[in-house]
Amino acid sequence: MTMHRPIIAACESAIIAIFSEGRYAAKIVEIDLKRHKKWGSRDRRQYAESVYDVVRWWRLLIKLAGHDYSSFNVTLESVREILQIYFVWRKNPEKLPSDISELSLAERESIPDWLDRLGASELGQAWPLLLHALNMPAKTYLRVNNLKSSLIKLQNILHTEGIETNVVSAVPSALVLRERKNVLQTQAFKHGFFEIQDGGSQLIAPLLKVEPGMTVIDACAGAGGKTLHLADIMQNKGKIIALDVNEFKLKELRKRAIRAGVSIIETHVMTSQKDIECFLGTADRVLLDVPCSGLGVLRRNPDTKWKISEEEIKRLAKLQDEILLNYYGLLKPNGKLVYSTCSILPSENQKRIQSFMLKTKNIIALEEEIFISSAETQFDGFYGARLSVSK
């Protein structure tokens, strides 16, 4: 791999910011790519891939450099050493020690020891394969916006713009890029013909079984990826109430809805319990895409494993319980609710549903559960459970 010195310097600065200053890799990469508009496509790709790869394999690279991960000091000099090891690995992997297979799983797959123990405890024999899959680079999936296009029409339009895709047999709404390209600059994107959304994520909205004309509440809407998918399935007929505690995310949702040609979404910022009470008993369907550890999307956000903690996962489990108990009352009698996460841990998934059902005996019934494993698909890891409420 031949890289120009300014690109290497940008990699050095990014890695220091991520590991020394606690910055997020995705944000750093986004800022740098916007700042360096004169970089060519090759330079931009090499920069982004190098930063993400070093973050992904951080512990292993430190080990290969002969250092102790637990006491490694992040400096410009030490980061340069790690990058040098990485560039050798990328160009001539045969030059690296051949005994990597003898390292512990945590060292080999480059995760903290506590996360390895937790994963093994919760997932057993499935853990090593799943962990390995989560270290593979993620593919780019698109979700067609059926309000403006169709799968084959979108594929043909992208072809004319130099973007080649394949249909994804397991996901009716999805195309996958044959090679990584910037699709955000295409006319197809600017006209709202598609959204970027992982194939696994595209399986969550259909789980809710929405129909045109329904009233649907997306209670943790964020920037609205699944909200827009629900609107598509509903043929832009009915009402979707998108709730979130962050106004800036809802602002982004509104912008995306305009581009997608969606007019049935109302947004509301949640500031207190009273805000929830305004919507009690009003919804045919409720989506709870709850805050979680994000361990199912490590391929896209590898720095999560260095930032999350076991204590944070326990805190999130309590929050997930609170959200389930606070929001299921938004449903009308015989309504349905989907609880979803981008986590692979049963403690954030099945165990939260089991706990919720114990607290709401004779009211809640589990209709369907899905677990999307990166080891069995090429998607990110997701969990979804559809519950019916009789009250």
Count of other CB atoms within 10 angstroms of residue 102: 9
Residue 279: what residue type? F
- Residue 342 bears catalytic tag: yes
What is the CB-side half-sphere exposure of residue 169 using CA atoms within 13 A? 1
Alpha helices in 242-377 (DSSP H): 247-260, 273-277, 304-307, 310-327, 350-359
> What gap in Å lies between CA 61 and CA 89, rounded to an integer?
9
Quote the distance between the C-alpha of residue 150 and its chain's center.
24
Quote the distance between the C-alpha of residue 253 and its chain's center.
16
> What gap in Å lies between CA 103 and CA 116, rounded to an integer?
13
Q: Which residues on neighbouring strands pair with residue 383, listed in sequence order?
A: 341, 371
> What gap in Å lies between CA 387 and CA 366, rounded to an integer?
5
> What gap in Å lies between CA 22 and CA 349, rounded to an integer?
28
Contact 375, 248 (CB under 8 A): no
Catalytic residue set? 342
